[in-house]
Structure 1
Amino acid sequence: MHVQKLIFLVIICIFIDCSNCFRDDVVKDLYPYPRLIQYSDEYQYGPDCVLVEHNMNALVFNNDSIWSKKEMNSIRLFYRNLYKDFRKLDSDSFSAIPTFQLLKIELIKFPVMSKQDYDDSFNDTVPFGANEYYDLRIFKDAVTIYSHSKFGVYQALKTMASLSLVYQDTFCVKYIPFRIQDQPRFKYRGLLLDTGRSYFSIDSIKEIIRGLSLLRYNVLHWHLVDDQSFSMEMLDEFLQDLHLKGAYHLGYIHNQIPITKGKFYTQKEIKSVVRYAEERGIRVIPEIDLPGHARSWDVAYKLGAQCPMFMKSTRYNSVNLEYTYSIPLDISRNYTVNVIQGVLKEIVNLFTDPLIHLGGDEVDIRCWAEDKEMQKRMEELGYTSPTTYIDYFKKILKDIKHTILVNKTVIQWEDILSPMDITKDSHTIYQLWKGDDSLKQLKEKKSRFIYSFGNYLDPSYQSCQTFEKCYNQSKLLELEKNFPNQFIGVEACAWEMIEQDNVQSLESNGLDKVERSFNDTVWYKLIAISEKLWTQPMHQLPSNISLYLKRAQIQTLKLSHIISIGNKTISRVTL
C-alpha cells in the first residue's frame, strides 16, 4: 500500500489538471462530465488497458473496520449488477488487448463527512450530495477508489465502467493512467413517474430505475395515487376497496386510450421495486396526493366532496370524457381522516426512504363550495368559508406528522402554501412546478425546495420540449445564487405517460395530437437534464459543441444497449 501511494505521488506530479479542458479521446465516454480529470502528460491512447476482475471478490476494502458489513455487501451487489448491464455493450471493435494480470479494486473510506453532510443524508442512509463524492485513480498496476460512503463508490464504479469495455468477463479500462474526482452539483436529482393515471409493469419500472442510476439521478418519485387510480394494494381489509375498486377504474386515459382496468401494485411488488432501487443507489419516494385528486378514493368509499354540477360543467369534455374529473376529499368527516391515517400507516411500512410526498396541489375549492353537507360540518368545526378548509386540513396533517410520520420529512407541492404564511419551516420541503411565484415566500419561511418548472417531460407549459431546452441551466444558476441553502435540486416530471411505444393522444380540442410514449418522449430529455444536475456549470456546454453532442450521443447509444429507450430517442439527442 505504501508503495502504491509513493508511485501515485510521483506520477501525479506529471499529471495535467483537465478540469477545464476537453480531450476528445479521454472525455467522449464521460457523461455527465466529472468535476476534475487528471491524466499523465505521457499518456498515449492505444489498444492497452488494465483488466479488472468483475466478480465481487475484486473489491478489497481497506481497513474493514471502517466499512460496515452492510456497506461492503451493498457495494459488492452494486458491482455485480453494474457488470450485468455493461456486458451487454458491444466490444468487438476493441482488440489486441494485452494479457496483464487481473487487478482488484481497493476501496478506501476517506475523508470523513462533515456533521452537516452526515445529517443531511439522514446518517448516510440515502445518496444526497456530499456522500456521493469519489476519487478514482487507475494506473497500470493499481485501481483505487476513495469515498465518503458506499454511494460515492457506486458513482466511481459507474465512471470506471463507462471508460471500459467488457472483455472475457473482465472490465478492460482504457485511457490509463488517470485520476477523476467528482461529486454532484445538486443533492436531489429526481424523476416523477405517474402511475396514478397509467399502469407501468414492474419490469418497466425497474428498467427505468437502471437508466436513472446510469444517468446519475438519485430519486424516483413514485406518484401512486390520483383521480384516475389508487394503484397500490392495501392489506387492511377495511381499506382494500381503495385498490379493488379504485385502481384504473375508468379503464382509459387521455383520448380514451385503453389501459387495463383494476390492475394494481401488490405490496410484495412495491417492496421489490424499493429493494431493486436501493441496490442501484436510487431512492424511491412515494406520493399520496392529498387532499385533492381524490376521485379514486371516492369510487371506493365515497370519501370525496359531492359536487356533480362542478364536475359536469367544468371538468368534462367530449374527447376525454370523465378522465379529467378531479375532486378533493371531504375532510370534514372523521371517517375520511381515519382512512387517510390507515393508508399512511401502510405506506410507512412499505417505503424505507425518510422522505414522503403528500401532494397538496390543485385543490379546487369550487367542489367544496357545492357540497352543502360538508359546509355544515365545517361550520361546526369553526371554518365558515371553503377558502379556509385547507387550513383545517393542515391541522389534520400536523397531527399525522406527529404520530404516524414521526420519522419522515414531508414534501408537498407549492399549492399548499397559504398566501400570507411566512412562518419559519425547515421541516417541510416544497416542490415548485408553477414558476417563481412562491420563491419570495419560501425565502421568508427559510424552507428547502425542489424545482420542477421548465423540467416537465409531458406537453404542458412547464415542459422543456427539446434536448437543448432541457439542457439549459440559466434558471438553475439564478436559484443557486439566490437560495444557496434552500435549493436542494431538480425533479423532472413524467406526467400521464404510457408504457407502450408509438402512442399519441388527442387534446381536448379534438385536433392536437400529443406523444404519450414514455420511451419516445422522456429519455432524451432525461439525458439532457442529467448533466445539468450533476456537472458543475463551468464544465457544461464547452466551446466545442460537437464534442458535447458526441458525449451525449455516445451515452444514448450505451443506454440503448442496456435498456429500452425508444427508437426516436437517439435522433432527438441534438441541438
Structure 2
Amino acid sequence: MPKSVSKGEQTLHVSRDLKMTAEGSNYADGKAILKDAFQRMVTLIELDHVINGSYQGLPLLASVNVVVHLPGDELNFGVDESYNLSVPATGNPIYAQIEAQTVFGALHALETFSQLCNFDFTSRLIELPSAPWAITDMPRFAYRGLLIDTSRHYLPVPVIKSVIDSMTYSKLNVLHWHIVDEQSFPIEIPSYPKLWNGAYSYSERYTMDDAIDIVQYAEKRGVNILAEIDVPGHALSWGVGYPSLWPSATCKEPLDVSSESTFQVINGILSDFSKVFKFKFVHLGGDEVNTSCWTSTPRVKAWLTQHGMKESDAYRYFVLRAQKIAKSHGYEVINWEETFNNFGDKLDRRTVVHNWLGGGVAEKVVAAGLRCVVSNQDKWYLDHLEVTWDGFYMNEPLKNIKNPEQQKLVLGGEVCMWGEHIDASDIQQTIWPRAAAAAERLWTPFEKLSKEWEIPVLSTRLARFRCLLNHRGIAAGPGNMLNASSTDQSKESCARRGLQGAKLSSDKTEEEVKTNEV
C-alpha cells in the first residue's frame, strides 16, 4: 500500500500507442533504464492480448510523462526510491504524470501504474479504472531482500533473471545470492580457477560474464545483488579444487584456519567479486561453524596451541580476518548472527548482523550500536512451508525497538528461499505469494499496515496479487504452501476468489468482504 492514495470513479482506456516523455534537469544517464522499463511495463499491461477495440467516444490516456530531478543511474544503497503518480480523469489529451527524485523511484511508479491497468474483454482495450488517481509513495526500509541459494540446487541464469523480474512486482530491491556452500561451488573465480571444480557438473556453473550479466540485469530494474561466501563453515566444496583448504582429507570443514593460503584464497575471491558485485555490502556468512575438525587435526591443533587459541578464539580470528580482507576491497560486511552472539563486541563496528535464528535478536544488535537485517527463520524462511502468508505479513522488524536512533540501525529485512528442497521447477511457486506479504511489511508505512483483525480483507488483495503474478508468467503458488498439493483447489482459488475478491474489495463494504471470505 502506498504512503497515500486517492482515487475516483472514471474509467480511462489506455492507448495502444501509449507514449512516454521524460524530462528533468541534467537527466540523461538514466534515460535508457527508463525507456527499457517503460517498454516492459507496456508489455506487462498488454499480457499478449490483442488490443483491437475502438477508442471512439472513450476517454483516452495517451501518454505518461516522467520527471526525474536527479541525474545518474548508479544504484547506491539508500538511493531515493520515492515517487508521485497522478492520473487525471479529464484532459485533451489525458496523460499520467510521474515525478521522482531518481530513475529508481520512477521505476517503482511505472510498476504501480501497471497494476492500475487491466485488459477489458468487452472493449478489447486496456482500461484504467477509478481515475483520477493521486499516489504519493516511498519505502519504509532501504533494504528489502530475497535470498536464493544456488549451491544446494543449481539455478539457470534465465531462472535467476525471472526471480529478479518478479521481485520488482512487489518492490523488493536486494537479491541475496547465496552462491556457494558445502554442496557445490558453481561460480568461476579467475584468481583460483580450480574452485569451480566443486560444481555439481561441468554445465552447472556460472562464468564471471554470467555474474556480470545478472548484476547489470538487476541494476536496470532497481535491484542490488548481494553476493555471499559463507566462511569458515559451509565451505567443503572449496577443497574439491584445492584440497589444501581442508584441515585434512578426512575432516574437511570448516576451512583450515591455520593456513595462510586459506586467507589468500578468500582475498582472491573478494578481489574478483569487487570487479563484478558493486553493491556496497558483501555477505561473509559465519554461521553454524563446527570447529571439531580444527582440534581433531594434529597439525591445526598444534597451530592453535602455538598461538594460545581455543576453538572459540580461532573462530573469532577467522571471521575478523575475513572482515578485514573484505574491507580492503571496499566492502562493508554482513555476517550471520552467530558472530554477534559469540563475539559481538569484537566485530567491526560497521558490521551488519543478519538475524536468522529467531526473534529478539535485532533489539540486542541495535542496542549494541550495530546494524541489523531481519530474517528470523520462524517467520521469514520460505522453505518453512508450514508458515502461512499471514505469518509473513505480521512479522515486524522493529518489534520491541522503541528508540528512534536504534530503529534507524535496522536496515530492513529479507525472506530466504533456501535451496535444499527446491530447484528451477518450483522456486517461484515457493517464493510467491508469501514473499509479497513480507514485501508490504518492508515497504508500507507502519501506520498503513493491516492489523490482525483485517487479515480477511487483506487476503483478497494478496489473492489478486497472486493472480497478477500468474498472468505475468510467474508460477506463484497458494498462500498456504501446505495446501500446494491440492492443485484443483489452488487453481479455483486464483480464478474465483482472487479476481472476484479484487472487485469485491473495491465495490463492497468491509463487512461484505469479510462475509464473502468466510
| TM-score normalised to structure 2 length | 0.82
CA contact (8 A) 1:54 1:171 kept: no
Pick the aligned partner of 2:372 from 427, 431, 449.
449
TM-aligned CA distance change 1:94 to 1:222, over 3 Å = farther
Structure 2 counterpart of 1:20:
none
- Counterparts of 2:202 and 2:231, CA distance in 1: 23
Which structure 2 residue ranges, 5 or more long, are not aligned? Answer: 480-489, 499-516
Q: C-alpha displacement at 1:266, in angstroms? A: 1.3
Cα deviation, 1:508-537, whole Å, max 9, x if unaligned, reads: xxxxxxxxx423422121122222221223
- Counterparts of 1:200 and 1:479, CA distance in 2: 37
TM-aligned CA distance change 1:198 to 1:420, over 3 Å = closer
- Counterparts of 1:560 and 1:386, CA distance in 2: 50
Structure 2 counterpart of 1:197:
152
Structure 2 counterpart of 1:10:
none
Structure 2 counterpart of 1:527:
436
Structure 1 counterpart of 2:326:
401
Cα deviation, 1:367-425, whole Å, max 9, x if unaligned, reads: 22211211222333x2431121023214422441343x2x2211111112263543685
> For residue 433 of structure 1, what is the amino acid of its counterpart?
W
Task: Give the SS at the match of 1:352.
Answer: coil
Pick the aligned partner of 2:75 from 126, 144, 161.
126
- Counterparts of 1:443 and 1:568, CA distance in 2: 35
CA contact (8 A) 1:194 1:495 kept: yes
CA contact (8 A) 1:480 1:487 kept: no
> For residue 199 of structure 1, what is the amino acid of its counterpart?
Y
CA contact (8 A) 2:382 2:418 kept: yes
CA contact (8 A) 2:44 2:114 kept: no
Cα deviation, 1:332-391, whole Å, max 9, x if unaligned, reads: 1112121111111111112121211111111111222211211222333x2431121023
Structure 2 counterpart of 1:49:
13
CA contact (8 A) 1:424 1:446 kept: no
Q: Confirm whether residue 151 of structure 1 aligns to residue 151 of structure 2.
A: no
| TM-score normalised to structure 1 length | 0.75
> For residue 142 of structure 1, what is the amino acid of its counterpart?
Y
Cα deviation, 1:441-471, whole Å, max 9, x if unaligned, reads: 52343111100003443455xx761122111
Structure 2 counterpart of 1:79:
38
Report how many aligned residue pairs link the two structures: 474
Q: What is the correspondence of 1:85-484 to structure 2 with a 5 Å cutoff?
A: 85-88=44-47, 98=57, 103-109=62-68, 125-126=74-75, 128=77, 131-139=80-88, 140=90, 141-165=94-118, 172-236=127-191, 239-243=192-196, 245-248=197-200, 263-302=204-243, 303-306=245-248, 308=250, 327-380=253-306, 382-403=307-328, 405=329, 407-417=330-340, 419=342, 421-422=344-345, 425-436=348-359, 438-439=361-362, 441-453=364-376, 454-460=378-384, 465-474=387-396, 476-479=398-401, 483-484=406-407
Cα deviation, 1:21-68, whole Å, max 9, x if unaligned, reads: xxxxxxxxxxxx1110123xxx3344x33548545xx1221x442x2x
Task: Give the SS at the match of 1:208.
Answer: helix
| Identity rate, percent | 26
More displaced stretch, 482-491 vs 148-157:
482-491
CA contact (8 A) 2:29 2:73 kept: no
- Counterparts of 2:98 and 2:104, CA distance in 1: 12
> For residue 49 of structure 1, what is the amino acid of its counterpart?
H
- Counterparts of 2:163 and 2:402, CA distance in 1: 28
TM-aligned CA distance change 1:210 to 1:395, over 3 Å = closer
Cα deviation, 1:118-138, whole Å, max 9, x if unaligned, reads: xxxxx9833656611111111
CA contact (8 A) 2:18 2:64 kept: no
Structure 2 counterpart of 1:490:
413
Q: C-alpha displacement at 1:234, in angstroms? A: 2.1
Cα deviation, 1:203-245, whole Å, max 9, x if unaligned, reads: 1111111111111111110001100011101223xx22211x2
> For residue 158 of structure 1, what is the amino acid of its counterpart?
E
TM-aligned CA distance change 1:138 to 1:458, over 3 Å = closer
